[in-house]
Every structure is written in C-alpha cells, then in structure tokens.
C-alpha cells in the first residue's frame, strides 16, 4: 500500500517513511508525484493539515497524510500560531522570527513566558474522508536562543521538566517528547480529534 | 502512550511492540496486566477481534488492539474459518488440523484447492468505540505440508505468485505478504472496514 506525504520537505518525508516502514507501507512525497501545493488558507492548524492532505489524496488517488505545526505563546494570545513560519518573512528566517517573538513579549510587558508547540496531522482518503489529530508539548521560552540541532523556534523552547532547549536536544530525545510524535501516537491509536 | 495487546501470546505481543516502537507507543500484554481472556463467541473474525479488544480496553482503561485470524478454504464453504484453531483439537495440534482439511477436501471430491488466510484487527478505546480492519492473502493448498518456519496452516499454503509455502518462507518475506500485515496497513492508514 502507498501513502502520500503531502509535503515538499524531503526531510519530513524521510522521517515519516521511517515510521511507516515496519508496516510495509510505501511512502511517496507530493514532490515525487508532481502534486500541486495548495495555499494554506485554513484558520487553524487542523484546517491547514486537512486541506493539504485532501488535495494530495484526491490528486493522487491514494491515502495522504499532511501536517501543520507551529508555536503558540500564551502571553501573545496564541501568536505566532498558524503564522509561525511567516513571522520569519519571505525567507522563513527563524532567527528573525525568534527575535520578533522576543520583541512582542517585551512589548507586552507580561512576564509569563509559557508557550507550546502544536502539530496537527490529517490523514485523508481519496473518497474525501479525513481524520485529524492534534498533539502539543508545553514549555517555556528562553532568550537568547540555545543550540543548533533542531529547526524553527526550537532554540528558544524548553519543554516542561527539562533544562535543554529543543535546539540542544538530540533528535531522538526531542522526537520522543515532541508535539509531532504526540499527534502521530494519537493517529496510530485511532484517537482522532475529528473525523469527517 | 500505552497500547494493550489483547493477547496472551508473547510472540504476538513482541511483534506488535516492534511495529509501534517508532511511534514511541509502549505496548503491554493482556497477560502482564492480568486481564481476563474473554471467550471467542463471535460469529466472524471481526466480531471475535472486537470482543477481545473491547474487553481489554475497558478492563485496562487504555486503548487495546486484538486480532483474530484463520484459514478459509473455498471448496469447504470457508471452513475451517473461525474454527481454524479448534480443528487442531484441544491441543491445537495444527498437524492434525492440516490433515483434517486435506481429508475434507478429498471427501468433497472438488479439485479447487484455492484458500485464503484472513486476519481481522480491532482497535478499541476505553469509551467503547472500536475500529476494525480485515486483511486477506489468497493462495492454494498443497499436500504434503512443506517447511517449518511458520505456524498454524502455513506449511500447506502457497500464496498466489509464489512457489514456496508460508512454512518455507523467511519471516520477513511472509510478513510483507501476510493477511496480518494487510490488516495492519489498513488500520494504520485509517481505512477501516467498520467503525462503531
């Protein structure tokens, strides 16, 4: 059986291929199938994951999985949220994005530095049905950024119960804790947040 | 997250634990949790898998997975079917069970030796919801039995497109083809045969 990963990020595709390999599920990327990349016009992580997965499933005639993830900062009312990548500008410069978050926190005058990463996963079938799950990991923002192992906002995020930022952790340790793995666990265990 | 495997067969539990390990899902056996083993009173493979998974999920307060599998012989109207293990008597002697199948085929006077293995999987939640999938692999029965690598009826079953019996194949090769892996693929891909 073949599963399409509705992503043009080959690193993400490889990671998902490794998860599904024991089940003898062949994973193909949207890029390798020359599938169009829909605009992420949803108003939530789950909505964006849904529209990406559905577009790929229908275009390929195969089940497709997609994710959408980002950082939610409590004192900023959940920002940058679904615009997490866009806070880095056209270049998706996360150094810039982290600075903007820190500036917004300073400007807010609030001392609460709690934040969470969030990942929505959607698994769509060619017939249009979609199941979604959402995983979160809670923690605190630090400044300045520390570590160069992760990506995105990892260098300023320290998960609750740990001292290191995600940027300082080994990939295995981060993956075991991460919002993405929590969303995958729920998906694999059939604990869907939404089925439509 | 923890998933209960509603089986007292430690080999089966280990096999399932390996499948779920990449997702950081911890797998526990019904035996290790001291869960009761319900009688398999269902009238189908799916019904038996459902009742085992549900009983475990409710008793443990955790998601639980169960399977039920067997051999269906076309010329015997699908027998031994859900009674596949019982054809081996109280001792579950599959040497005896294979002989009984061969005798029944001879007695039927039919030359059609087609058969399929079937595996039903059920994934139950503590709230009582259950998703099931069914996987099949089609082939032909041979006599006498060949090979000692599998279990059950494997030594008399040659899958379509192959020369070796399941009893002669390496576990990796058999697993990639098997009814059980097909049911798992469908489960993981959210292609449920039934949700209730």
pLDDT value of position B69 = 94
Candidates A132, A181, A188: best to mutate against B (most CBs of B within 10 A) is A188
Q: Is the pLDDT of residue A161 over 90?
A: yes
Say how many CA atoms lie within 13 Å of B159 toward its Cβ. Answer: 17
* Chain B residue with minimum CA distance to A126: B191
Inter-chain contact A24–B125, Cβ cutoff 8 Å? no
Q: How far apart are CA B83 and CA B118, in angstroms?
A: 12
Percentage of the residues of chain B whose pLDDT score is greater than 90: 74
CA torsion through residues B105, B108, B113, B116, sign = negative
Q: How far apart are CA B6 and CA B25, in angstroms?
A: 15
How do residues B121-147 score in pLDDT, each as one tens digit?
999 999 999 999 999 999 999 999 999
Instruction: Decide: B187 and A1 in contact? Cβ < 8 Å.
Output: no
CB-nearest partner of A185 from B18, B25, B131: B25
* DSSP assignment of B43-90: SSHHHHHHHHHHHHHHHHTS-EEEEEEEEEEGGGTTTBGGGTTGGGTT
Q: How far apart are CA B66 and CA B43, in angstroms?
A: 16
Those residues of chain B whose CB sits closer than 8 Å to some CB in chain A are 1, 3, 18-25, 63, 123, 125, 131, 175-176, 181-182, 184-191
Can you tell me the ipTM of this complex? Answer: 0.72
Inter-chain contact B23–A185, Cβ cutoff 8 Å? yes
Which residues are CB-contacts of A3 (< 8 A; sequence separation ≥ 6)? A20, A25, A26, A27, A28, A62, A63, A64, A65, B189
Inter-chain contact B131–A190, Cβ cutoff 8 Å? yes
Residue with tokens 């009893």: B167
Q: Give one word for B147, left, alpha or beta, with left for phi > 0 and alpha for psi -120 to 50.
A: left
Q: Is the pLDDT of residue B94 over 90?
A: yes
The mean pLDDT value for A150-179 works out to 93
Q: Classify residue A124 by its DSSP letter.
A: E
Tell me the three state secondary structure of residue B91: coil
Tell me the three state secondary structure of residue A190: coil
Q: How far apart are CA A71 and CA A73, in angstroms?
A: 7
Instruction: Decide: A5 and A55 in contact? Cβ < 8 Å.
Output: no
The mean pLDDT value for A170-186 works out to 90
């Amino acid at each position: 059986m073949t599963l399409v990963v509705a992503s043009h990020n080959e690193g993400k595709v490889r990671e998902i291929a490794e998860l599904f390999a024991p089940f003898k599920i062949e994973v193909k990327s949207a890029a390798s199938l020359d599938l169009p990349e829909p605009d992420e016009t949803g108003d939530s992580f789950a909505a964006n994951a849904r529209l990406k997965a559905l577009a790929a499933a229908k275009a390929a005639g195969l089940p497709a999985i997609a994710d959408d993830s980002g950082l939610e900062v409590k004192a900023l009312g959940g920002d940058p949220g679904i615009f997490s990548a866009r806070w880095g500008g056209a270049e998706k410069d996360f150094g810039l994005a982290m600075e903007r978050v820190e500036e917004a926190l300073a400007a807010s005058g609030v001392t609460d530095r709690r934040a969470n990463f969030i990942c929505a996963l959607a698994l769509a079938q060619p017939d249009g049905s979609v199941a979604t799950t959402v995983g979160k990991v809670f923690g605190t923002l630090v400044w300045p950024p520390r570590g160069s192992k992760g990506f995105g906002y990892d260098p300023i995020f320290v998960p609750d119960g740990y001292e290191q930022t995600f940027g300082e952790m080994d990939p295995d340790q981060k993956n075991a804790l991460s919002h993405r793995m929590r969303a995958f666990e729920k998906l694999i265990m059939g604990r869907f947040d939404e089925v439509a």
